[in-house]
Amino acid sequence: MARNDRGLTALTAVAAAGILLAAAFALILAPRAAGLTPNETFAQRIIYFHVPSAWLSMLAFGVTMVGSIGYLASGQRRWDGLALCSAEIGIAFTLAAMASGSVWAKPAWNAWWTWDPRLTTYTVVLLLYISYFMLRDAMDDPARRARFAAVYGIFAFLSVPITFFSIRWWRTIHPVLFDAKNFGLSHGMRPVFFFSLAAFTLLYVILLLHRLRLERSKEAVEGLREQLGY
């Protein structure tokens, strides 16, 4: 157990260092994207935080779906815990992506927010996963709560690919991800971008591991309370 704690602490330190380096690279070393207006010159650097946050929100909700399937297949509570913890982190990254996107949108589109297809579908994703927690809070029985949440978590994930492909299916002013021509991701920007993507992905893994450990501690306390009759 102590070895696991040391390993998690070491990974946490690596993740923290990675995020700090990503911030330094993005704000100082990364070249300016081509074809931008003067107002966008600095704001475009938010790309190194905005895109990883959006990517990790989708990854987190994908893990929630996997955990939901795992629970329905096995009935083991650890799968429900995985789905729950990942959904919490997914909402945090969704809010981060929305906030950073607004910072970029103001100089690029002259508006903090617009009901573009990508932004609209992404808002639907956020509302669906907020509803996921509302559904869980509405049920007292743990087994029933986990079962209903698992079914909901699977179907809620359908909104994620719709959001991802929305910029390809409908007319939109949102840039296409990983398209160098439309996205302005020059060769000089790519090393910093992918380093940031890796650093943020590691951050998600670390947050999930910490949250799962907290969830296991919570379950242990609940088990002791049941044994003691509280």
Q: What is the pLDDT of residues 2-59, one digit of tens each?
A: 567 788 889 899 999 999 999 998 888 777 765 555 555 566 788 889 999 999 999 9
pLDDT at residue 71, as a whole number: 96
pLDDT at residue 34, as a whole number: 59
Nearest partner of 89 among 5, 212, 216, judged by Cα: 212
Q: If you average pLDDT over residues 189-210, what whole number do you get?
A: 92
**How many domains does one find in the chain?**
1
Is the pLDDT higher at 215 or at 84?
A: 84
Task: Give the lowest-confidence range in 30-39, 116-125, 149-158, 167-176.
Answer: 30-39
pLDDT at residue 218, as a whole number: 81
Q: If you average pLDDT over residues 195-224, what whole number do you get?
A: 89
Supply the mean pLDDT for the chain.
Answer: 85
pLDDT at residue 6, as a whole number: 82
Task: Give the lowest-confidence range in 57-66, 151-160, 217-226.
Answer: 217-226
Is the pLDDT higher at 107 or at 207?
A: 207
Q: If you average pLDDT over residues 111-136, what whole number do you get?
A: 92
pLDDT at residue 179, as a whole number: 53
Compute the CA torsion angle 159, 160, 164, 168 (nearest 10 deg).
-20
Which residues, other chains included, contact 6 with Cβ-Cβ below 8 Å and sequence gap of 6+? none
Q: Say whether pLDDT at 205 is over 90.
A: yes
pTM: predicted TM-score of the whole model, two decimal places: 0.87
44: domain range?
A: 2-228
